[in-house]
C-alpha cells in the first residue's frame, strides 16, 4: 500500500468505531423491517393490500401513521405505525403502549443473515407473534419480508473498500424448542466516500477460519476486488482465509 493510500485509510479509520457503527446500521435494518411487518398487519386487518382497488367503499382504509420510539439494545429507534380511519387497528408486533423491544431486534436482524432458510424465517415470525397469529398473517409477512431479505443479501458491492471489519458475535436463539448458541458473523465496510455499510451477515453454529474463507469468497463474487486493510480477531487460520481471496490486503488485529 502506498503512502497516499495509507493516509486515506488513516483518515477514514478515525471516523469509525466499529461496534457502534454496526449497531447503528443494524438498527436501521430493524426499523425498516418492523415497518414492513406492521404494513402487513394492516393489510391483514383491512383485508386488502395497500393501493388495492378492493379497498374502495370497503368501510375502512389507511389513515397515515403515528410515530413511536422504541428502546432497543442498539439504542432508540423511531418507527412509523400505520393507522386506519376507523381507529380499530391494534398492532400485534409492537403494541400500542409498548416502548421497549424486549429483544425483538435480535430475531429481526437474524433473518437477514445467510444461513437462514425460508422455513427458519417463518419459524422466527411464528415465535415473534406467538400462537395467536393466524397462518394467513405469517404467510403475508413472509411474502413481504423474504424478497427484501434476499435482495439485501445479494446486492452488488463496491470494487474497493479501504477498511473492512470482520467479526463474529455469539448469542442464544431458540431452535426446535431448544435454546442453542449461534455465531452471527458481521462484515462492516468503509467505502471510498467514507460511508459505512454492512456488507453482509451470516449465521452458523460456530466461528471458524473455513467459514470466513467462504465469506471472503462471497464478497468477491458480489463485486469486491480489493480491500486495503482488514481488521479481524486472532482466530487461527483467519490470515490464510483472507489472503486466499484478497492477497494484497494488509491485516491487523
199 CA to centre of own chain: 10
Domains of the chain: 21-153 (no CATH), 157-252 (3.30.420.10)
In tens, the pLDDT along 155-195 reads 999 999 998 988 877 766 666 667 777 778 889 898 888 88
In tens, the pLDDT along 164-175 reads 988 877 766 666
Q: Is the pLDDT of residue 11 over 70?
A: no
Alpha helices in 93-134 (DSSP H): 104-110, 118-129
CB–CB of 39/144 below 8 Å? yes
Q: Is the pLDDT of residue 217 over 60?
A: yes
More confident residue, 243 or 205: 243
Q: What is the mean pLDDT of residues 98-107?
A: 85
Q: Is the pLDDT of residue 120 over 80?
A: yes
CA dihedral 37, 38, 43, 45 (to 10 degrees): 130
75 membership: H or E segment, kind and range: strand 75-84
Residue 48 pLDDT class (50, 70, 90 cuts):
confident
Amino acid at each position: 500500500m502506498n503512502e497516499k493510500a495509507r493516509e486515506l485509510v488513516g483518515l477514514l479509520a478515525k471516523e469509525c468505531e466499529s461496534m457502534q457503527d454496526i449497531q447503528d446500521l443494524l438498527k436501521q435494518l430493524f426499523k425498516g423491517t418492523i415497518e414492513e411487518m406492521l404494513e402487513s398487519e394492516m393489510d391483514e386487518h383491512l383485508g386488502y393490500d395497500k393501493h388495492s382497488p378492493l379497498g374502495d367503499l370497503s368501510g375502512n382504509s389507511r389513515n397515515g401513521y403515528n410515530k413511536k420510539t422504541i428502546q432497543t439494545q442498539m439504542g432508540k429507534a423511531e418507527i412509523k405505525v400505520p393507522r386506519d380511519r376507523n381507529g380499530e387497528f391494534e398492532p400485534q408486533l409492537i403494541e400500542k403502549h409498548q416502548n421497549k423491544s424486549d429483544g425483538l431486534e435480535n430475531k429481526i436482524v437474524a433473518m437477514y443473515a445467510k444461513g437462514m432458510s425460508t422455513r427458519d424465517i417463518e419459524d422466527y415470525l411464528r415465535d415473534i407473534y406467538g400462537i395467536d397469529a393466524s397462518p394467513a398473517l405469517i404467510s403475508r409477512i413472509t411474502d413481504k419480508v423474504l424478497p427484501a431479505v434476499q435482495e439485501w443479501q445479494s446486492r452488488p458491492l463496491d470494487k474497493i473498500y479501504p477498511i473492512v471489519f470482520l467479526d463474529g458475535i455469539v448469542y442464544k436463539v431458540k431452535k426446535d424448542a431448544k435454546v442453542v448458541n449461534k455465531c452471527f458473523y458481521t462484515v462492516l465496510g468503509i467505502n471510498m466516500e467514507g460511508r459505512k455499510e454492512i456488507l453482509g451477515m451470516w449465521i452458523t453454529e460456530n466461528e471458524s477460519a473455513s467459514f470466513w474463507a467462504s465469506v471472503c469468497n462471497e464478497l468477491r463474487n458480489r463485486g469486491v476486488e480489493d480491500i486495503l486493510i482488514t481488521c479481524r480477531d486472532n482466530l487461527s487460520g483467519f490470515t490464510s482465509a483472507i489472503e486466499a481471496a484478497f492477497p494484497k490486503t494488509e491485516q491487523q488485529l
